[in-house]
Structure 1
């Protein structure tokens, strides 16, 4: 899993809704509202960073947050849904 370089799957588009001040994922026939810092995590899923690299960046940006414990599972769940490749 640590060598995996997550990227948004084809047809999955990130958007920000300024009216609701919410990050979204637009999927075919579905919209997913992202909560907390999920948008910050997914913004790094561009296929160039490994999961370990994403965790390192987020740990530096959000010191004290349980990034290492939560982000890999979050990304794995999105991969299982087919939203990440």
Structure 2
């Protein structure tokens, strides 16, 4: 991912958290770049394929456990590894102001 640098402490999230996009943040496909981005007021964050797979499942209703279970099944990957990666990304995006808990 390219974009803003993290600042401040990592927000608290756990397996039962239901993160959502922060106000004014939209997940959109940038046709010029040919990639998914998080578009926020005066900021853009380019998402790699893995980050997009995670962020596209974040809706403010599904807990992280459900998101991780779906990703583990979709990618046939160990649940523990997926869970750690998802939590790390969610905390980073929240610290950058793209997600809320």
Q: Does 1:68 align with 2:83?
A: yes
Stretches of structure 2 that go unaligned for 5 or more consecutive residues are 1-13
Number of residue pairs the alignment of both structures matches: 85
Displacement of 1:81 in angstroms is: 1.7
Stretches of structure 1 that go unaligned for 5 or more consecutive residues are none
Q: Hey, what does 1:11 align to over in structure 2? A: 24
Displacement of 1:12 in angstroms is: 0.5
Superposition CA RMSD, Å: 1.4
Displacement of 1:79 in angstroms is: 1.4
Instruction: After TM superposition, list the pairs within 5 Å mapping 1:39-78 onto structure 2.
Output: 39-64=52-77, 66-78=81-93
In the TM superposition, structure 1's runs of 4+ consecutive aligned residues that sit over 6 Å from their partners are none
TM-score by length of 2: 0.76
